[in-house]
C-alpha cells in the first residue's frame, strides 16, 4: 500500500534536492513502513548533516515511522541556536555552541 508524506528541507539541505523541490513542501510516496532516517537517505541527504526533524511540529528521532499525511521538516546543523532540549535525533546537537551564541 502506497502512502504519502510531505517534506520540507531547510537551508543547505536543499542542495541535495532537485531544483523543483528546493525551499518548498513536496510529497514523497512511500510503499512500506519507512523511518525518518530511511526517508532522508532516499532523498539523498546524509543523516549526519541533519540536526533536527519535526513531524507535524514535534521533534522525533531517526527511528520514527512515517505515516500517511505527516508533515516532515528537516533541519541542518544549527550554528547559533541551542537545540539540545529539542532534538531527539541523537544525545546532543552536532555543533558545540560558544558562550556568545543565542539560546
Domains of the chain, by residue range, sit at 3-76
Q: How many CB atoms lie within 10 A of CB 17?
A: 17
3-state secondary structure at position 13: helix
Supply the pLDDT for residue 85: 60
Q: How far apart are CA 22 and CA 65, in angstroms?
A: 24
Residue closest to 60 by CA, chosen among 89, 40, 39, 35: 89
Where the chain has pLDDT below 50, the residues are 101-103
In degrees and rounded to multiples of 5, residue 78 shows phi and psi of -85, 130
Return the CATH class of domain 3-76.
alpha beta
Residues 73-100: tens digit of each pLDDT: 999 987 666 656 666 566 665 665 555 5
Supply the pLDDT for residue 96: 57
Amino acid at each position: 500500500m502506497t502512502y504519502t508524506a510531505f517534506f520540507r528541507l531547510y537551508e543547505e539541505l536543499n542542495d541535495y534536492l532537485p531544483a523543483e523541490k528546493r525551499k518548498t513542501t513536496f510529497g514523497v510516496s512511500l510503499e512500506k513502513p519507512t523511518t525518518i532516517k530511511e526517508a532522508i537517505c532516499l532523498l539523498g541527504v546524509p543523516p549526519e548533516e541533519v540536526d533536527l526533524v519535526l513531524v507535524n511540529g514535534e521533534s522525533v528521532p531517526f527511528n520514527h515511522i512515517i505515516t500517511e499525511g505527516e508533515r516532515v521538516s528537516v533541519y541542518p546543523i544549527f550554528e547559533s541556536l541551542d537545540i539540545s532540549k529539542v532534538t531527539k535525533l541523537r544525545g546532543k546537537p552536532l555543533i558545540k555552541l560558544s558562550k556568545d551564541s543565542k539560546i
